[in-house]
């Protein structure tokens, strides 16, 4: 089932505010779908704590005592956390660069599923007309409040807080309009791609003051939800090369994918103790 959330922000978004809002929505989607065990702020705290611990240990004489099983497991798990965090940061930098550089982005899409062609759920953030003025983020907090309130009070709330997808892959894509390239190297062109219609889709749109209320509706020009999966070009979900040999149609929207597919993961527990507590224990 396709559901739309039309957020009334009361003003035209600046490019910087739009980039920040998109990043917050992505974090919200991934965390509330239980693909990551911590909030994004939690990731940052863990990385800062581990860095502080490493700095303390570097100042101590080297010991010949071998690492314990708990330390080895903790170090391995921290590498997973750090890699996921760095991948998200790279993707967010790419999105922000595209929006701030004036690219005519239409949508940013988050796909949860085994591959991009077999999604379990699709989230589509539609980019409105943007202002080039820099507001300094003065209204970012109020914008986020309106967005989260719109989600909570809508019928689509369960689409943002469900574990029905289970741990799966996370794909980030950008609809760059008719452009065949982006300013950022964080995304690569995915030839012939259209969003499969096999999974539920949740649309998030932002209504500008001068834009009619039907901005969030599925307009007749959007054929991506009408395509049958069986007619799609089969493409390696994380490959930069398409299996499609057809010439590029300049009038068709081009999709770009972040080649680093993320994998959802659970928290580490050793003897029932969560990883963050283990980190505190190792630091003591």
Of 244, 261, 262, 222, the closest CA to residue 106 belongs to 222
Domains and CATH numbers, the chain: 2-283 (3.30.900.20)
So what's the pLDDT on residue 109?
97
In percent, the amount of the chain with pLDDT more than 90 equals 42
So what's the pLDDT on residue 161?
66
Between 67 and 225, whose confidence is greater?
67
Residue 159's contacts (CB-CB under 8 Å, 6 or more residues apart) are: 3, 121, 123, 200, 202
Mean pLDDT over residues 186-192, rounded? 91
In percent, the amount of the chain with pLDDT more than 70 equals 79
So what's the pLDDT on residue 210?
58
* Alpha helices (H) along the chain: 15-32, 40-58, 69-100, 140-152, 275-283
So what's the pLDDT on residue 270?
86
Of 189, 192, 25, the closest CA to residue 109 belongs to 25
Statement: residue 214 has pLDDT above 90: no
Q: How confident is the model at residue 221 (pLDDT cuts 50, 70, 90)?
A: very low
What would the pLDDT profile of 240-270 be if each residue is shown by its tens digit?
333 333 344 556 789 999 998 899 999 999 8
What would the pLDDT profile of 79-102 be if each residue is shown by its tens digit?
999 999 999 999 999 999 999 998
Statement: residue 172 has pLDDT above 80: yes
Least-confidence region, from 17-31, 85-99, 149-163, 194-208: 149-163
């Amino acid at each position: 089932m396709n559901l739309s959330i039309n957020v009334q922000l009361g003003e035209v978004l600046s490019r910087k505010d739009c980039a920040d809002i998109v990043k917050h929505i992505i974090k919200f989607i991934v965390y509330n779908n239980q693909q990551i065990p911590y909030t994004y702020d939690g990731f940052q705290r863990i990385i800062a704590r581990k860095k502080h611990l490493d700095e303390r240990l570097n100042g101590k004489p080297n010991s010949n005592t071998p690492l314990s099983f708990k330390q080895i497991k903790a170090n391995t798990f921290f590498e997973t956390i750090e890699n996921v965090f760095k991948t998200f940061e790279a993707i967010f930098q790419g999105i922000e660069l595209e929006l701030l550089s004036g690219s005519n982005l239409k949508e940013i899409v988050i796909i949860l599923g085994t591959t991009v062609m077999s999604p379990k759920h699709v989230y589509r953030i539609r980019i409105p007309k943007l202002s080039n003025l820099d507001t300094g983020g003065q209204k970012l907090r109020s914008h986020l409040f309106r967005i989260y309130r719109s989600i909570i009070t809508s019928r689509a709330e369960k689409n943002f807080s469900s574990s029905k997808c289970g741990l799966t892959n996370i794909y980030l894509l950008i609809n760059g309009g008719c452009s065949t390239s982006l300013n950022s190297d964080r995304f690569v062109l995915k030839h012939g791609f259209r969003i499969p219609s096999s999974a539920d889709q949740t649309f998030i749109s932002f209504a500008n003051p001068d834009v009619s209320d039907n901005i969030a509706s599925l307009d007749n020009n959007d054929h991506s939800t009408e395509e049958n999966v069986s007619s799609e070009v089969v493409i390696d979900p994380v490959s930069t090369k398409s299996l499609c040999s057809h010439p590029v149609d300049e009038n068709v929207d081009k999709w770009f994918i972040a080649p680093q597919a993320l994998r959802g993961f659970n928290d580490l527990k050793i003897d029932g103790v969560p990883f963050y507590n283990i980190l505190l224990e190792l630091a003591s």
